[in-house]
Amino acid sequence: MNCDAHLQNPIQVKVHFDANKRVFVIGDLDADLAKFEQALKSVNFDKNHDVLFSLGDVIDRGADSVKLIKRFIELGVYMSLGNHEHMLLESLLTHDKDYFSLWVKNGGRWHIDTSDEELEFVCNYLRNRPLSYLLDYRGAKIGLSHTVSHNWNWLVPANDKQLAVSALLWERTIVKQRIVEDNPSISFSIHGHNTTQTPYWLGNTYHIDTNYLGGKPTIVELERLINQNSSI
């Protein structure tokens, strides 16, 4: 494999879309291409007019890690990293044995039967994905990341990469402690990572990891969430 040995993923990317665009966010996919296509069909997604953001954990557990990445490229999906992508990068780029063991135990065994060329392709794609997006859309500032710490400042994000990785890819405190305080730096934010049967709000964080354990991925249109959040 010929893949850069340093993690250079940006902590945050700021994006803006005009109000005439339909913007969607989808939760964890766990390498299931069929479920992804069903989710797109359920909202009549049109790649020529609509925009899609992914919250990470696109790979692992299922059989379609490489196929999903290729499909994302076809559709122009804005993907942020999840902790499963982080495990892959640490395993393949920095050869971290602890991360490699954790990755294989948690759905990463697919890489054993994958060619070096395809692994290089996936690795090079993922090492350029950001940890988060700050979206300006329809008058709202919306944070998008795999997960988030309760005190994350979306307007002035931490420059410490290790701290950002922990806060945006691995953190579970908001859900475990049921923290319902609004984060004042954002209109609201959307996250995966913490398994749930149905999406729910905690403060102004919205949690949509509904795919694991026999469920299906949640895809949500931001216009609806903006209207919902403004009425809470």
CATH number at residue 114: 3.60.21.10
The residue segments making up the domain with residue 81 are 21-231
Would 4 be classed as within a structural domain?
no
- pLDDT of 232 over the 80 cut: no
Would 184 be classed as within a structural domain?
yes
Would 9 be classed as within a structural domain?
no
Q: What pLDDT sits at residue 231?
A: 56
Would 128 be classed as within a structural domain?
yes
Would 84 be classed as within a structural domain?
yes
Would 12 be classed as within a structural domain?
no
User: How does pLDDT run across 87-115, given as a tens digit for each residue?
Assistant: 999 999 888 999 999 999 999 999 999 99
Give the C-alpha separation, 136 to 30, whole Å.
Answer: 28
pLDDT, average across residues 27-49:
97
Does residue 139 come out as left (phi exceeding 0), alpha (psi in the -120 to 50 range) or beta?
Answer: left
User: How does pLDDT run across 144-192, given as a tens digit for each residue?
Assistant: 999 999 999 999 999 999 999 999 999 999 999 999 999 999 999 999 9
- Quick one: tokens of 52? 């899609």
Would 166 be classed as within a structural domain?
yes
Q: Which helix (H) or strand (E) holds 192?
A: strand 188-195
The neighbouring-strand residues paired with 51 are 23
- pLDDT of 198 over the 80 cut: yes
Give the C-alpha separation, 36 to 30, whole Å.
Answer: 10
- pLDDT of 4 over the 60 cut: no
Question: How many structural domains is the chain composed of?
Answer: 1
Would 2 be classed as within a structural domain?
no
